[in-house]
Chain A
Amino acid sequence: MSTISVKSITKNFGTQCAVDHVSFDVYPGEIFGLLGPNGAGKTTSIRIVLDIFEPDSGEVTVFDGPMTEAKKNRIGYLPEERGLYQDIPLEYCLQYLASLKGMDKEVSHKRIDAYLERFDLNQARKKKVKELSKGMQQKAQLISTLVHEPELIIIDEPFTALDPVNTQMVKDILKEQRSKGKTIVMCTHQMHQVEQLCDRLVLINQGKSVLYGSLNEIRKNFTGNVVEVRTHETLPENIPGVTAIRHTNQNGDYMLTVEEGITPQKLLKTLINLDIQLEQFEIASPTLDEIFIKIVTKRDEGNE
């Protein structure tokens, strides 16, 4: 049973089609990536899922049914347009937002205390929100997303405005939430950030879904016949089973395009037989960015 089920949703703003027949399912306990470049329709899709917008056509179910007020308490949402009430103290702001998620006062106080401690915001709790730095506000917002321990966490561009240390912290928190069995939908254009995190993903471009499935499967489908090799020796110009050798940089990195029918194991054997000292031997798996660019350029060629 899927936590979110999106069936062929479409949304137009005037003449502009923001989302065009997008479908995907999010299953319990996974980190699901909703990926795509800026303006692809990610945020609009999320807003439709959250019942902020109504779709022009298509259907969305959350927790096996339409969105209700009660279900909103089971969802934590970190919107792309970040914001907290600027004119009130941080602690009070978080408590108010937690109470709107149906949280009991005592429990929310305890949890907010713990989170403020963990996010290093203890000093700032009595300060007005507008006095906090952007990064601090972002962390505070994350607290309000997680404090009611939602079953479904939806975060839109979680890494903007965060430095590397805080980025890592957010990643750790997301992994921790997944290990607790929470379902996470992560919406971002920074595809390299989610490669280590996502279990499954959908890739949206210009409102259309262009890729959908588990990360491993997608990678496998796009893995070509290229092997990355690093060595301090000079490679011979002709290696049996290799059709092309490309020197990627001066540090001894090479990309070897392998002949059809030759497995990486066979190539490794050949290299060892040639007595080449290998520092690294790796089957090149494309990054999401590369896959995305490949898809998009292929489509454009098809359109022309």
Chain B
Amino acid sequence: MNKTWLIIKHEYLRHVKRKRFIFAVLSMPFFVLLIVGIGMLTAIFSTNNSPIGFVDHSGLFKNPVMPEFEASLPFTKPMQILPYANEEELNAALEAEQIQAYFVINENYFENGSIVLVANEEPDSTVLRDFREFLNLNLLKDFPKDISNRLLEGGTVEVRSTDDGREMSSDNIFAFILPFLAGFLFMIAVQTSGGYLLQAVVEEKENRTMEIILTSSSPNQIMTGKVIGNLSVGLTQLVIWIIVGIIGVVVLQSNFPEVQLAQIDTRFLGLMVLTFLPAFVMIAAMMATLGATATESREAQQIAGLFTLPIVVPFWFFGVLIESPNSPLAIGLSIFPFTAPVSLPLRAAFTTIPAWQIVLTVSLLFVLAAAALWLAGRAFRLGMLRYGKKLSLKELFKKA
């Protein structure tokens, strides 16, 4: 069997089989679920869905039609709107906490729209919206059904660009969230697997297993095996999270059909793969080089942060990337190898990127990834046998 493959397998299984890894992988969705759960619970407990009352002095709402309200959150009742005869009854009901607030529709409502809202505590934010819906529905009740429905629901605006078929629905939040989320996950994955890799390289030095490894396989086989093996650990983590995420989205969608999901742009996905993979390898190989030149893992870990920092930079310029995706800054960020994996797919979601830019960025990343791997193999061979001694950058580029 190919030795590179053996090393990949060893490095991969070593981490994945561990309880610590399983725990780390599961803790993320669990954490998200916990936060969402707590958020939901807080919302449910803070929601006041006791009915609202009203008294009509205008005579326009004598036999009111009730809109079919939907519960705003699971496990809550839909809002109720109850008619009362006069203010005294309403005041009594308010005191008895049968209603959370009441509206007085004044005599000249038709002329000037005058309504008074009476409440002892600040009413729930949905109260006004719900009552307005009730008023509109009743004002329109004599119109044909289709006209009143269209008026009440308004229109759905879709934003298009003229250059190609790309479109963006105004309520498609996923177009924004997806690149952001992808970049964020990428960063975490790089950090995790980079950390594993760093450890795996320094460990050879600390365990003094290098000489055995070096006399069993070549430095390039070792480095390639270690980089790919440890990256796969990060990728596994990423894939599990993505799967959990997709399940979450599907569950969300089946419970709340009004949340619109974008069909994920396949081009965006393609660019993501093309930039993430080589960038992943590049950064990881650089970390491995670092691990091979440093003397102990603690020292290496400290410098490792420097490599993950540039990945975050595009997040600072998120606004620029979205609003003017063709500005020099945005183009620069998407070409610079460290910021490319987050910037390029993000720009692609908002503009059409010229082919030369994509080719340039992706090939630059691939070349750098290969170079970084080569350098890592070299650093391994040169640096690993120097117990307790650092390898300088100058030595790294000199002849062995």
Interfacial residues, chain A to chain B (CB-CB below 8 A): 47, 50, 52-54, 69, 72-73, 75, 77, 79, 81-86, 88, 96-97, 99-102, 144
Q: Which residue of A lies closest to B214 (CB)?
A: A52
* Contact of A72 with B216 at beta-carbon distance under 8 Å, contacts A54-B400, A77-B211 already known: yes
* Contact of A101 with B208 at beta-carbon distance under 8 Å, contacts A47-B385, A81-B387, A88-B14 already known: no
**Contact between A97 and B211, CB atoms less than 8 A apart:** no
- Any A CB within 8 A of the CB of B298: no
Q: Which residue of B lies closest to A98 (CB)?
A: B216
CA distance A77 to B14 in the complex (A): 24
CA distance A54 to B241 in the complex (A): 46
**Contact between A100 and B207, CB atoms less than 8 A apart:** no
Select A85's contact among B1, B6, B207, B214, beta carbons within 8 Å: B207
**Contact between A52 and B216, CB atoms less than 8 A apart:** no
**Contact between A77 and B212, CB atoms less than 8 A apart:** yes
**Contact between A84 and B400, CB atoms less than 8 A apart:** no
**Contact between A52 and B208, CB atoms less than 8 A apart:** no
A10: min CB distance to chain B, Å: 15
Instruction: Annotate B201-213 by CB proximity to A: 1 below 8 A, 0 otherwise.
Output: 0010001111111
- Any A CB within 8 A of the CB of B255: no
**Contact between A82 and B208, CB atoms less than 8 A apart:** yes
Contacts of A144 in B (CB 8 A): 212
A62: min CB distance to chain B, Å: 11
Select A100's contact among B210, B211, B213, beta carbons within 8 Å: B213
- Any A CB within 8 A of the CB of B141: no
A69: min CB distance to chain B, Å: 6
Q: Is the interface of B mostly helix, strand, loop or mixed?
A: helix
- Any A CB within 8 A of the CB of B218: yes
29 of the cross-chain contacts (CB-CB < 8 Å) are A50-B211, A50-B215, A52-B211, A52-B214, A52-B381, A52-B385, A69-B217, A69-B221, A72-B215, A72-B216, A73-B216, A75-B215, A77-B212, A79-B208, A79-B215, A81-B208, A81-B211, A83-B208, A83-B210, A84-B207, A85-B203, A86-B207, A88-B14, A96-B10, A97-B212, A97-B216, A100-B6, A100-B213, A101-B216
- Any A CB within 8 A of the CB of B62: no
Contacts of B211 in A (CB 8 A): 47, 50, 52, 77, 79, 81
3 closest Cβ pairs, A-B complex: A83-B208, A79-B211, A100-B216
Contacts of A81 in B (CB 8 A): 208, 211, 387
Chain B 185-227 interface residues, beta-carbon cutoff 8 Å to A: 203, 207-218, 221
Most buried by A among B214, B216, B221, B400: B216
**Contact between A52 and B215, CB atoms less than 8 A apart:** yes
Instruction: Annotate B1-37 by CB proximity to A: 1 below 8 A, 0 otherwise.
Output: 1010011001000100000000000000000000000
Contacts of B218 in A (CB 8 A): 69
Q: Which residue of A lies closest to B217 (CB)?
A: A100
Q: Which residue of B lies closest to A100 (CB)?
A: B216
CA distance A127 to B38 in the complex (A): 43
**Contact between B207 and A72, CB atoms less than 8 A apart:** no
CA distance A84 to B221 in the complex (A): 19
Q: A52-B381, A69-B221 are in contact. List 19 more A-B contacts (CB 8 A).
A: A47-B385, A50-B215, A52-B214, A52-B385, A54-B400, A77-B215, A79-B208, A79-B215, A83-B207, A83-B208, A83-B210, A83-B212, A84-B207, A85-B203, A85-B207, A100-B6, A100-B7, A101-B216, A144-B212
* Contact of A99 with B214 at beta-carbon distance under 8 Å, contacts A52-B385, A83-B209, A84-B207 already known: no
CA distance A84 to B204 in the complex (A): 9
A185: min CB distance to chain B, Å: 13
Q: Which residue of A lies closest to B222 (CB)?
A: A100
**Contact between A79 and B217, CB atoms less than 8 A apart:** no
Contacts of A75 in B (CB 8 A): 215
Contacts of A47 in B (CB 8 A): 211, 385
**Contact between A79 and B212, CB atoms less than 8 A apart:** yes
CA distance A102 to B207 in the complex (A): 22
Contacts of B6 in A (CB 8 A): 96, 99-100
Contacts of A84 in B (CB 8 A): 207, 209
CA distance A50 to B217 in the complex (A): 11
Contacts of B212 in A (CB 8 A): 77, 79, 83, 97, 144
